[in-house]
Amino acid sequence: MMKAQKDQVDLSLSQQWDRVKTHLKNELGNDIFNNWIQPLDIQELTQDQLTLAAPTPFIQNWVSTYYLEAIQQLFCEENPDLKRIILGVSPHSAAESSEEKAVAKGEAEPDFQEGDFVGSPLDPRCTFENFVVGKPNELAHAAARRVAESTQVPFNPLFLYGGVGLGKTHLMHAIAHHIQKTQRNRKVMYLSAEKFMYQFIRALRYRDTVAFKDRFRSVDVLMIDDVQFISGKDSTQEEFFHTFNALVDQNHQVIISADKSPSDLEGMEERLRSRLGWGLVADIHPTTYELRLGILQSKVEQIKQTIPKKVLEFLAHKITSNVRELEGALIRIVAHATLVGREISLEMIQEVLRDLLRSNERLLTVEEIQRKIAEYYNVRLSDMHSPKRSRAVARPRQVAMYLAKKLTTRSLPEIGRHFGGRDHTTVIHGVKKIEELLMTDIGLREDIDLLRRTLEA
């Protein structure tokens, strides 16, 4: 391509990008725009694929999750030839990931400078102020606060554990922010276990392990996130163990997170596992409905949106997997509403979140239904299968059949088999009977309503 022509293409591409950005700025507001969209650059256009670059892996990750779809939609409108947008990390600032690959391939030059040795970046939004406390996370939160506010070392290590997306990283970042703000003389370092491993492997390669250790040991508060990634990697484990011991012995605070308790960390040496459990071990439990609703309300305030209460309750009820998904759902509906100019309603979110709602659907079993109903009507579980026909057991059995039909995808013959091998016509009869009664019997309607809600909770 001739140079003049190429410049023209580039110019129009960057103009297109400017237009997309203007659009996004209007839709997302200045804060979100400046945080996430402004830092992105155009990197490369090949045929029908455009690559954008984020300055850090963190921003790349976040934008991919929340905004890439919208960017792609808008860009493709600007430029119909475009089929796909890929978001990478820009090569100059992504020293971490690109060097990692170079080291693995044995290409990189040894160039250790003080500046190379840094922790992972902190998310400015992960503060204590933005953390919603509820029963499932109150212990972890209190422990994190204690570590952040104390000038001593209250317990060492603090070991936070819990499932994905429940707030471990958020709490660690909050501790780091707080200490950086209130105790400027203390040196805090936060890093993912992966980054720890990478730095260690690099140090080994350049025979720089002494300096590696010294650098870690000069830190007052060291946080290593997701240590389960260290399991199985023997030499890194060994080094981690020594660094850990040295820091704890010198009374430097260590904070660790993992997806499992120390004793459940498989592939980790016994002495390390037991050492990790010496301080305070605090677990974060799965969220409750109340906590999910509280988190949604706080996020809605943060992004300055008004969303009907019914919608928030619906989301808190339905998206039970973890906070990250809950947050993702909220951002998705807000982005959708602003981009296509639609009002946020129950119908709208069910449409926008169809896939997410489906994956969060808990699959009820016929047994669970039978158990709940037996308990509720105070009959034996075995009465659900028994041939007894007295009203006292027949009615609860019909209720169970009715709910099994309504709340599971089991066929009538399958349901019949769960009720002591009854015929599918018996099931039809039971379901019909309850449907009839529901029209007149308010008490039964209330019972079934309640049962349904507890079963679906």
Residues found near ligand ADP in the complex (CB under 6 A): 126, 130-132, 137, 162, 164-170, 295, 323-324, 327
Contacts of 399 (CB under 8 A, 6+ apart): 373, 377, 434, 444, 447, 448, 451
* Contact call for residue 192 and Mg ion (CB under 5 A): no
Q: Does 16 bind Mg ion (CB under 5 A)?
A: no
Query: Taking the complex as a whole, how short is the minimal distance between the CB of residue 226 and ligand ADP, in angstroms?
Result: 7
Residue 265 and residue 275 in contact, taking contact as beta carbons nearer than 8 Å: no
166 binds, among Mg ion, ligand ADP, none (CB under 5 to 8 A by kind): ligand ADP
Residue 93 C-beta: closest distance to Mg ion, Å: 22
Query: In whole angstroms, what is the distance from residue 158 CA to residue 100 CA?
Result: 29
Which entry of ligand ADP, Mg ion, none binds 158, CB below 5 to 8 A by partner kind?
Answer: none
Residue among 171 and 353 whose Cβ is closer to Mg ion: 171
Dihedral angle computed from the Cα positions of residues 381, 321, 225 and 110, in that order, rounded to the nearest 10 degrees: 130
Nearer to ligand ADP, 50 or 293 (CB): 293
| Number of residues engaging Mg ion in binding (CB under 5 A) | 2
Min dist. Cβ of residue 15 to ligand ADP (A): 34
Packing angle of the helix pair 323-340, 57-66 (nearest 10 deg): 60
- In whole angstroms, how close is the CB of 131 to ligand ADP at the nearest point? 5
DSSP string for residues in 291-305: HHHHHHHHHHHHTT-
The reply on whether position 169 binds Mg ion by CB under 5 A is yes
Residue 249 or 301: the one with the smaller Cβ distance to ligand ADP is: 301
Minimum separation from the CB atom of position 195 to Mg ion (A): 13
Look at residue 140 and give the partner it binds from Mg ion, ligand ADP, none, a contact being a CB closer than 5 to 8 Å depending on partner kind. Answer: none
By the rule CB under 5 A, 236 interacts with Mg ion = no
Q: Please, what is the minimum distance in Å from the beta carbon of residue 254 to ligand ADP? A: 17
Phi, psi of 188 (to 5 degrees): -110, 135
Closest C-alpha to 254, from 189, 347, 114, 158: 158
Paired with 256 in beta bridges are: 159, 224
Q: Which is nearer to ligand ADP, 98 or 130 (CB)?
A: 130
Side-chain-side CA neighbours of residue 218 (13 Å): 9
Nearer to Mg ion, 243 or 322 (CB): 322
Alpha helices in 94-167 (DSSP H): 95-105, 138-149
Q: Which residue is nearest to ligand ADP (CB)?
A: 167
How far is it, in rounded angstroms, from Cα 141 to Cα 295? Answer: 14
Nearer to ligand ADP, 324 or 371 (CB): 324
- Do residues 184 and 220 touch, judged by C-beta distance below 8 A? no
Please, what is the end-to-end C-alpha distance for the chain in angstroms?
62
| Minimum CB distance to ligand ADP smaller for 39 or for 165 | 165
Instruction: Give the binding site for Mg ion (CB under 5 A).
Output: 168-169
